[in-house]
């Protein structure tokens, strides 16, 4: 998610505002600390312009190693 967000020139604050969450909550999604709900996941996929469900899984794997 981090890489894709940066490719699109978006900040954490930008995305947090679009999904109606705090920046710290969005940061937790990026870091794999918490998993977004299905509803938020669908919104994030739209914002990040991806159909890849693994975009969330990749962050969790990276942070659990």
Distance CA 29, CA 56 (A): 8
Structure confidence at residue 37 (pLDDT): 93
Structure confidence at residue 52 (pLDDT): 75
Structure confidence at residue 51 (pLDDT): 82
What are the extents of the domains in the chain? Answer: 2-64
Q: Which residue has the tokens 């940066």?
A: 6
CATH class of 2-64: mainly alpha
* Predicted structure pTM score: 0.79
pLDDT digits (tens, 9 = 90+) for 5-63: 999 999 999 999 999 999 999 999 999 899 999 999 999 999 999 887 777 665 544 45
């Amino acid at each position: 998610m981090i890489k894709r967000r940066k490719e699109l020139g978006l900040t954490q604050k930008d995305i947090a505002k679009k999904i109606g969450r705090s920046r710290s909550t969005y940061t937790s999604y990026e870091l794999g600390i918490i998993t977004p709900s299905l509803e938020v996941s669908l919104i994030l996929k739209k914002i990040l312009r991806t159909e890849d469900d693994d975009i969330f899984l990749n962050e969790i794997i990276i942070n659990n190693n």
